[in-house]
Amino acid sequence: MVLIAVQVNGTDHQDEVEPRLLLVQYLRETLGLTGTNIGCDTSSCGACTVLLNGESVKSCTLLAAQADGAEIQTIEGLAPAEGPLHPVQEAFRENHALQCGYCTPGMVMAAVSLLEEEDQLTERTVREGLEGNLCRCTGYHNIVRAVLACAAERGMVPGSVS
Amino acid sequence: MTMGAGAFSGKPVRRVEDPALLRGEGTYVDNLKIEGMLTLHFVRSPIAHATIRSIDASAARAMPGVVGVYSATDLAFPPAPALMTLRPGAVRPALAEDRVNFVGDPVVVVVAESRALAMDAAEMVEIDYEPLGAVVDMEDALSPDSPVQYESIGSNVMIGLRSGSDDPLAGADVVVRGRFENQRVAVVPMEGSAIAVDPTGADYDLTVHLACQMPHMIRGVLSGLLELEPDRVRVIAPHVGGSFGGKHLSAEGVVAAKLALELGRPVKWVETRSENMVALPHGRGQVQYVELGLKHDGTMVGLRCRMVGDAGAYAGFGGILVLGQTKIMAQGVYHIPEIAFDVGIVVTNTTPMGAYRGAGRPEAAAFLERIVDMAADELDMDPVELRRKNFIQPEEFPLTTVMGAEYDSGDYEVALDEALRISDYKGLRDEQAQRRARGDRMLLGIGLACYVEVTGGGEEFAEVEVHDDGMITVKAGTSAHGQGHATAFAQIAADQFGVPIEQIRYVQSDTARVARGGGTGGSRSVQLGGTAVLQTSKLVVERAKELVADILEAAPEDIVVTGDGSVGVAGVPSKAITWAQVARTASERGAPLQVQHDTERAGSTFPFGAHVAVVEVDSETGRVVPVQHFAVDDCGVIVNPLLVDGQVHGGLASGIAQALWEQFLYDADGNPITSTLAEYAMPSAAELPSFTTAHTETPSPVNDLGAKGIGESATVGSTPAVQNAVVDALSHLGVRHIDMPCTPERVWRAISDARIGTLPDPWREPRTEMAAFPKEGASEEELERGAESVNL
């Protein structure tokens, strides 16, 4: 067993974990944070995307042990439980960017990361930036619109008024 | 804001489902925790067709945390249920018995304290297989020489039947012919199959949490298989991570339920993606031999179809779709006076076939729109004009087609005109001509598809109750798994009660809370469930009006829903009482304001539309990029345009993906070679364009809402539009057909063949076995003779 210390959504945790335990399993099974979903076993779908030290990672590609010492943010940590939605969540709602909701937590976290990482976004760069996250319901059309709406809010879309 | 009729229906109301899903509060089966719950993991066949010589599970049983290891000989499992039976005797055992029939066939199940322990133990199970020859290709399976899957049946042909006109091409000046492959695709809901079964509850023998579309139907099936009283089984479909026709009660689900009863402990099975790609039934899978006869002026005179349908292993129910939805929609939007339709449905050593978005209708539109484009080329007519010339006209509805479908309503030309308008079709053709004239490397392809499909039909249940606090509970027997029924049905009810959406509580997908229901499938929900909610709401409102008339001592005909949360005398604002007061009074008088209601059986509806797809083809590499897609889909009267467009977008992605990328492939021995998302070409956002959607609204006369289904239409329309666009890009080179998926290799090869004059003929005759199939309506004796001739 390996002892790890992580901060998840602002709360410190110390746990003994099996060396082979994936980060996503640690989040879901040990911490009970089931908002992060598992959609594949080849790191292809992105449903399990979380932020690790501020950057989006697929939490099925990391061992929990590798996350030792890291700050992690999951979908549950994006907006206060009783408070308003995060602007990206709100844009997803406003633009009907989710249907079954299974890819949504990962997609939202990937979008949050993309909006932080880039200075400017266009439809093309949003599409490429979300390439690692699969959705079967929306055809991505409204997801792209939602992210572009957030980008426009922040003045990141060339030609848009912030 | 004044509410009441029309305040919400027809408006893009934002979804009430979203906040919980966006906060990560989804209730997907794998999120469920039950004290003491065990986990299942299956040992699956790595061989496509083999007999099982021996199974040694002793090492696995001795592993820590293992509660049990079972094969079909250790415990009598009921058979796996079939959604539709292809042929009596083609039974699938829940766990393989003496032989395996596809790679992924479950043979042994391990029950353990955790998933990791179950997987560890599964590695220790030793199974000795004796390989048999496998048949992978559906046309090979027509041959009496192919290795037989069901010895008791003696042939891989489950159904062989000829039907319709004897000579449909008589009188044609021109006949165009094509052999088209409608390839096998994987459903890929983002959540795989999942089930948790709890036998420990006080009120039920079994409580089943299942990712599925039809909980009530499954309760009936499962209770029958396990010999339990239906009312002792509760089935709950919690949040379901997409289904697209795929998720029902699976073989693994039956095993889980049986083991929960056997062990007296809750058990859970959650499919991995690698399992899902081979275990969840696949969709499509037809080879279509199509001949269309026309007059020189383009008038269609007859259509001859000879179709092979792949049922996969165990006669998967999807195999029968060619004889169901594909056949009944073979005529499409056109006058085709004579049609012959022959089918051979076979079992192969591949994943069983099932339903996938469209389920038989995309296959019909694909072959028809493809052959119409080939005819336009042959006759040197614009594909628009050829279609227009043969359309069924609006005044002809309702119409019984040659295939026996009862088309309810339609205006195909209006949809086509709208698609041409929004796509600037003429401008696109000009651009194409310019590129060709310049000899541009990037060729432009413009593809057209006009379609009609079939949705719904049947009856549905709803219950509506006004509570003493004024809240209104609406229940329906449909079962959403991403579509947004909670929002759409709340809109319908809120309009009847004149209350805000927030005053409606929606309940679905739980057999303990909803008395009965048909679930969701075949795009039935709004037209049937929505109509049930509308009718039931009206019945409640009528009862409320009578009650209020009595309370206010007014004439019942003077009582109206006021639109501000009350019921009162028309034009007299002071004489009104709130829904809460009405409900309390009803309760005090001993008859709570609650109505359960079933709709009368309604006919199917026939949504239609026209799509224009625009692709760029790199003439050097064969790569195809979909650059624009214009979709005009007519689903009758729209309840929520936001939800309708969402359905269209998803349908477009599925259809474009089948035309260009997705294909589930096996090698010659039946080993799957696209069984992970790293290999299977499901598109991401980077591959797809934004879409342009529009709607014409031709009401359906067969339900009170005037609605038709929209969940699958865009898949039906987009698949042939995109394929036609690819061929169109190369038509000036002489290319007449490219099979789906139009991969770079296939497209490059077509360009190359065209340049050196070696283009293959898109036609060849089907296998001779098909000619010996018995004719529908033949005498018993003839049928018997025919049956013998194909060794049925």
Residue B735 falls inside a structural domain = yes
Rounded CA-CA distance B514/B537 in Å is 16
CB of A24 less than 8 A from some CB of B: no
Residue B642 falls inside a structural domain = yes
**Choice among A79-83, B430-434, B585-589, B660-664 with the minimum mean pLDDT:** A79-83
The CATH number that applies at residue B448 is: 3.30.365.10
Work out the minimum CA distance from B253 to partner chain A, whole angstroms.
19
For residues A65 and A119, membership in a common domain is answered with no
For residues B292 and B388, membership in a common domain is answered with yes
| Residue type at position B591 | A
Pick B189's closest partner by Cβ from A105, A128, A136: A136
For residues A60 and A92, membership in a common domain is answered with no
B553, B570, B598: which is the final residue of a domain?
B598
pLDDT of amino acid B190 = 98
Pick B22's closest partner by Cβ from A34, A44, A93: A93
Q: What is the mean pLDDT of residues A150-158?
A: 94
For residues B415 and B505, membership in a common domain is answered with no
Residue B765 falls inside a structural domain = no
CB of B590 less than 8 A from some CB of A: no
pLDDT of amino acid B791 = 35
The model's pLDDT over B120-158, given as tens digits with 9 standing for 90+, comes to: 999 999 999 999 999 999 999 999 999 999 999 999 999
The CATH number that applies at residue A133 is: 1.10.150.120
CB of B64 less than 8 A from some CB of A: no
CA distances (Å), B444 to each of B33, B87, B430, B439, B722, in order?
54, 47, 10, 11, 12
Q: Flag whether pLDDT at B3 surpasses 90.
A: no
Tell me whether residues B14 and A94 touch, CB distance under 8 A.
yes
pLDDT of amino acid B1 = 42
For residues B635 and B590, membership in a common domain is answered with no
- Cα B619-B689-A61 angle, rounded to 5 deg: 100
Work out the minimum CA distance from A132 to partner chain B, whole angstroms.
7
pLDDT of amino acid B85 = 85
For residues A143 and A123, membership in a common domain is answered with yes
Q: Tell which of B15, B17, B21, B29 to mutate to test the A interface (max A CBs under 10 Å).
A: B21
The residue in chain B having the minimum alpha-carbon distance to the alpha carbon of residue A141 is B690
For residues A64 and A96, membership in a common domain is answered with no
For residues A38 and A96, membership in a common domain is answered with no
For residues A60 and A124, membership in a common domain is answered with no
Q: How confident is the model at residue A161 (pLDDT cuts 50, 70, 90)?
A: low
Beta strands, E only, B166-246 = 174-185, 194-198, 206-210, 233-236
Work out the minimum CA distance from A87 to partner chain B, whole angstroms.
11
A42, A77, A112: which is the final residue of a domain?
A77
Work out the minimum CA distance from B122 to partner chain A, whole angstroms.
17
The residue in chain A having the minimum alpha-carbon distance to the alpha carbon of residue B273 is A40
Residue B143 falls inside a structural domain = no
Residue A162 falls inside a structural domain = no
CB of B58 less than 8 A from some CB of A: no
In a 13 Å sphere around the CA of B396, the CA atoms on its Cβ side amount to 14
Domain of residue A19: give its range.
2-77
Q: How confident is the model at residue B687 (pLDDT cuts 50, 70, 90)?
A: very high
pLDDT of amino acid A115 = 98
- Does residue B12 contact residue B642 with C-beta atoms inside 8 Å? yes
Q: How confident is the model at residue A2 (pLDDT cuts 50, 70, 90)?
A: very high
Q: What is the mean pLDDT of residues A20-28?
A: 98
Residue B563 falls inside a structural domain = yes
For residues A124 and A60, membership in a common domain is answered with no
For residues B463 and B589, membership in a common domain is answered with yes
A26, A49, A77: which is the final residue of a domain?
A77
A77, A109, A144: which is the final residue of a domain?
A77
CB of A108 less than 8 A from some CB of B: yes
pLDDT of amino acid A159 = 74
For residues A100 and A148, membership in a common domain is answered with yes
Write out chain A residues lying below 8 Å of B646, CB-based: 96, 99, 137-138, 142
The CATH number that applies at residue A45 is: 3.10.20.30
pLDDT of amino acid B5 = 57
How much of chain B, in percent, has pLDDT values that exceed 70?
Answer: 97
For residues A95 and A72, membership in a common domain is answered with no
CB of B44 less than 8 A from some CB of A: no
Q: Based on the structure, what is the number of domains in chain A?
A: 2
Residues in CB range of B782: below 8 A, 6 or more apart: B774, B775
For residues B203 and B318, membership in a common domain is answered with no
For residues B409 and B432, membership in a common domain is answered with yes
Q: What is the mean pLDDT of residues B12-33?
A: 98
Tell me whether residues A134 and B682 touch, CB distance under 8 A.
yes
Rounded CA-CA distance B109/B55 in Å is 12
For residues A93 and A115, membership in a common domain is answered with yes
For residues B551 and B615, membership in a common domain is answered with no
The model's pLDDT over B217-262, given as tens digits with 9 standing for 90+, comes to: 999 999 999 999 999 999 999 999 999 999 999 999 999 999 999 9
- Residue B88 burial by CB count (10 A; 0-12/13-18/19+): exposed, middle or buried? exposed
Q: Considering only CA atoms, give the Rg of chain A.
A: 16
**Interface ipTM above 0.95:** yes
Q: What is the mean pLDDT of residues A64-75?
A: 98
Residue A160 falls inside a structural domain = no
Work out the minimum CA distance from B700 to partner chain A, whole angstroms.
26
Write out chain B residues lying below 8 Å of A9, CB-based: none
Beta strands, E only, B92-221 = 99-100, 106-112, 126-131, 157-161, 174-185, 194-198, 206-210
The model's pLDDT over B250-308, given as tens digits with 9 standing for 90+, comes to: 999 999 999 999 999 999 999 999 999 999 999 999 999 999 999 999 999 999 999 99
CB of B25 less than 8 A from some CB of A: yes
Q: What is the mean pLDDT of residues B590-603?
A: 97
Rounded CA-CA distance B29/B250 in Å is 15
The token pair that represents B731 in the structure block? 């038509």
Residues B42-59: b if buried by 16+ CB within 10 A, e if exposed? bbbbebbbbebeebebee
Q: Flag whether pLDDT at B422 surpasses 60.
A: yes
CB of B457 less than 8 A from some CB of A: no
Residue A107 falls inside a structural domain = yes
Q: How confident is the model at residue B6 (pLDDT cuts 50, 70, 90)?
A: confident
- Does residue B350 contact residue B313 with C-beta atoms inside 8 Å? yes
Residue B331 falls inside a structural domain = yes
Tell me whether residues A139 and B688 touch, CB distance under 8 A.
yes
For residues B524 and B668, membership in a common domain is answered with no
Residues in CB range of B600: below 8 A, 6 or more apart: B459
Cβ–Cβ contacts within 10 Å for residue B394, how many? 13
Q: What is the mean pLDDT of residues B705-712?
A: 98
pLDDT of amino acid B84 = 84
Q: Based on the structure, what is the number of domains in chain B?
A: 3
Domain of residue B636: give its range.
283-455+604-756
B50-56, strands of its sheet edge to edge: B99-100, B50-56, B126-131
Work out the minimum CA distance from B190 to partner chain A, whole angstroms.
6
Q: Flag whether pLDDT at B184 surpasses 60.
A: yes
Q: Flag whether pLDDT at B589 surpasses 50.
A: yes
CB of B652 less than 8 A from some CB of A: yes
CB of A126 less than 8 A from some CB of B: yes
Residue A140 falls inside a structural domain = yes
pLDDT of amino acid B105 = 98
- Residue B781 burial by CB count (10 A; 0-12/13-18/19+): exposed, middle or buried? exposed
For residues B634 and B748, membership in a common domain is answered with yes
The model's pLDDT over B395-408, given as tens digits with 9 standing for 90+, comes to: 999 999 999 999 99
Q: How confident is the model at residue A81 (pLDDT cuts 50, 70, 90)?
A: confident
Residue B94 falls inside a structural domain = yes
For residues B362 and B310, membership in a common domain is answered with yes
Rounded CA-CA distance B250/B487 in Å is 30
pLDDT of amino acid B779 = 58
Work out the minimum CA distance from B483 to partner chain A, whole angstroms.
6
Q: How confident is the model at residue A82 (pLDDT cuts 50, 70, 90)?
A: confident
For residues A64 and A92, membership in a common domain is answered with no
Pick A41's closest partner by Cβ from B24, B240, B273: B273
For residues B655 and B666, membership in a common domain is answered with yes
Tell me whether residues A139 and B483 touch, CB distance under 8 A.
no
CB of A125 less than 8 A from some CB of B: no
Partnered with residue B196 across adjacent β-strands are B209, B268
CB of A120 less than 8 A from some CB of B: no
For residues B314 and B378, membership in a common domain is answered with yes
Write out chain A residues lying below 8 Å of B18, CB-based: 92-93, 98, 101
pLDDT of amino acid B679 = 95
Rounded CA-CA distance B33/A28 in Å is 11
Beta strands, E only, B490-548 = 504-507
- Does residue A105 contact residue A75 with C-beta atoms inside 8 Å? yes
Write out chain A residues lying below 8 Å of B244, CB-based: 136
Write out chain A residues lying below 8 Å of B273, CB-based: 39-42, 44-45
Rounded CA-CA distance B751/B261 in Å is 61
B565, B598, B631: which is the final residue of a domain?
B598
Residue A159 falls inside a structural domain = no
Work out the minimum CA distance from B431 to partner chain A, whole angstroms.
23
Work out the minimum CA distance from A159 to partner chain B, whole angstroms.
19
Average pLDDT of chain A to the nearest whole number? 96
DSSP B564: S
For residues A55 and A16, membership in a common domain is answered with yes
The model's pLDDT over B767-785, given as tens digits with 9 standing for 90+, comes to: 999 999 999 876 555 555 4
CB of A96 less than 8 A from some CB of B: yes
Residue B774 falls inside a structural domain = no
Average pLDDT of chain B to the nearest whole number? 96
Pick B190's closest partner by Cβ from A39, A93, A140: A39
